[in-house]
Amino acid sequence: MESNEWVRVIAESELKDGVPLAAEVEEKKVLLVRSGGKIYACGNECSHYHAPLSDGLVVGHIVTCPWHNARFDIRDGRLDAPPGLNDIPSYETKVEDGQVWIRQTGKGTVPMPEGEDDRTFLIVGAGAAGNAAAETLRREGFAGRIVMVTGEPHGPYDRTMLSKDLLSGEAPAKWLPLRGGKFYDRLKIEVLTEKPVRALDPAGLTVSFADGSSMSADRILLATGGKPRSLEVPGADKPGCHLLRSRQDAEAILAELEHAKTAVIVGASFIGLEVACSLRSREIGVHVVAPEDVPLATVFGEQIGGRIRKIHEENGVNFHLGQTVKEFAGGERVGEVLLADGSRLKTDCVIIGIGIRPAVEYLKDSGLVQDGAVPVNGRLETAAEGIFAAGDIALVPGGKGGESRRIEHWVEAGRQGMHAARSMLGSREEYREVPFFWSKQYGVSYRYIGHAPNFDRVVFRGKAEDKSFLAGFYVGGTLSAASSVGRARELIRLGQLIGAGKTVTPEQLADPGFDLLAM
């Protein structure tokens, strides 16, 4: 379709107000929506993993992706929130003789701003937060110098793929980079790899690096993410024992898996269980060791956690719950895992997934760290003027009297990076995003929106063992988070209601006849 060519799509009568509809135009899927008396058209593929946006939810001018909750403005295709990367194509519309016609106006690329700006913005970290910040600065018209530094040998890549598609063999390593080198060159974003940070001087807005060099900037974003926790037990440093956080970690594990027949995974976290799923797809025997009685019960509750355990067991995973590791044994390299109850597990490989800690060692003399994290205000600015923080290291205000939170999830990091970039440019808007994450295991996506670390009641629409269900997590009678398998639109709507502070009673949530989308 040429940008100046009008193409007839559908009859106007097929469009219902606020209901997304996908139409195929010259082998391309286009999303059409009637909203506020106008008809809008944009691309129907999310720029994250290509989910059909027509299966998502439209509220006002914003469409939310059904898979991972990226958001786009249907008026111009503009990215509203990660994990989407690009804007989506946009189209002009007109109606003639009861037929809707469209022609393309925007292709969804990020432009390099015109003009000049003598300021330098330094981004420390090249994960979801750092990359989103760099791109957002350009989207918002910043024409100055952008430098993004990372201690890793690779530029920004999709960390969520490591425990899932990369280890399973479904995705090659070449799919990991978020962008190609030409993208950063075109936008004049300097990406400096193998450049670990040693210290920060807040007063001088200066960062010192391990190679002895230093750099000053007009604004600094700290987005160094986290470091994986290890086990303080004998043998944890033996060859064959692996942590999983970086691309290098994943590549080392992949090399082990070429010859492994059995693996022990320590930790029944999301990372541990996603790795278990990936290894089973390779027909590697898997043992999972964890101290809790039900996997992920602190996040999902015992019913959903029980469902997850059952599915893993049906796929051949052996659980050793209520157990801890006493020693990694076996000579020069690990070959056996000794548990606290005296039992022994033979293994060719060990993968430890017991969480992360914020990577803030370089900030020890900065005065910015509190209880191992970096507190920020609603603009994501630290106690030092001109220095911002986002992602795993940031302790963010809860909003509306809620407790401050530190969320270790990819989508949250990306959204914080986007918000921090706007704040670096002078925005006074408060960060009010509702956290979202997903975990894919054996082809099933478990999605979660909100924040309820201390829920006291779980209410279901459907049952945890059903093909699809919706669950609400209540704290003192207030819905604080929700989770689902399937039911994407209802979950998205619950997240919007939580963000708006609107009440969804347990009775309303449990009643399948109550229309949550109409609230």
387-407 tens-digit pLDDT: 999 999 999 998 666 789 999
For residue 83, whether the previous peptide bond is cis, meaning omega lies within 30 degrees of 0, is yes
> Which pairing describes strands 219-222 and 120-124: parallel, antiparallel, or unpaired?
parallel
CA–CA dist 134, 215 (Å, integer) = 17
Secondary structure E strands in 116-196: 120-124, 145-149, 189-192
pLDDT computed for residue 1 by the predictor: 60
In this structure, which amino acid lies at residue 171?
A
327, 454, 484, 510 from 506: Cα distances, Å: 46, 17, 16, 6
pLDDT computed for residue 111 by the predictor: 86
Neighbours of 459 (CB within 10 A): 18
Task: Give the pair of three-digit tokens for residue 435.
Answer: 């956290």
For the chain, 519 residues long, the average pLDDT of each consecutive 10-residue run is 81 93 90 94 96 96 97 96 95 95 84 94 98 97 98 97 94 94 96 98 98 98 96 95 96 95 97 97 97 97 97 98 97 96 97 96 97 97 98 90 88 98 98 96 96 96 96 96 98 97 95 95
CA–CA dist 27, 382 (Å, integer) = 49
96 pairs with which residues across the strands? Answer: 99
Tell how many helices (H) and how many strands (E) occur in the chain.
10, 35
416 and 394 Cβ atoms separated by less than 8 Å: yes
CA–CA dist 218, 308 (Å, integer) = 48
Q: Which CATH number is correct for 241-354, 3.50.50.60, 3.30.70.2190, 3.20.20.70, 3.40.640.10?
A: 3.50.50.60
pLDDT computed for residue 2 by the predictor: 59
According to the CATH classification, is domain 443-518 in 3.40.640.10?
no
150 and 126 Cβ atoms separated by less than 8 Å: yes
List the alpha helices (DSSP H) in 406-447: 410-424
CA–CA dist 210, 200 (Å, integer) = 12
CA–CA dist 483, 435 (Å, integer) = 12
In this structure, which amino acid lies at residue 60?
G
pLDDT computed for residue 108 by the predictor: 73
CA–CA dist 380, 223 (Å, integer) = 11
Whether 241-354 and 443-518 share one fold: the answer is: no
Q: Which residues, 6+ apart, have CB-to-CB distance to 400 below 8 Å?
A: 501
What are the two backbone dihedrals, phi and then psi, of residue 37, each rounded to the nearest 5 degrees?
Answer: 85, 0
Greatest alpha-carbon pair distance for the chain in Å reads: 81
According to the CATH classification, is domain 120-227+358-424 in 3.50.50.60?
yes
Which superfamily is assigned to 7-106 in CATH?
A: Rieske [2Fe-2S] iron-sulphur domain (2.102.10.10)
Secondary structure E strands in 131-185: 145-149
pLDDT computed for residue 429 by the predictor: 97
CA–CA dist 484, 374 (Å, integer) = 31
pLDDT computed for residue 403 by the predictor: 83
Which sequence spans correspond to the domains of the chain? 7-106, 120-227+358-424, 241-354, 443-518
| Start-to-end CA span in the chain (Å) | 39
Helix (H) or strand (E) holding 313: helix 302-314
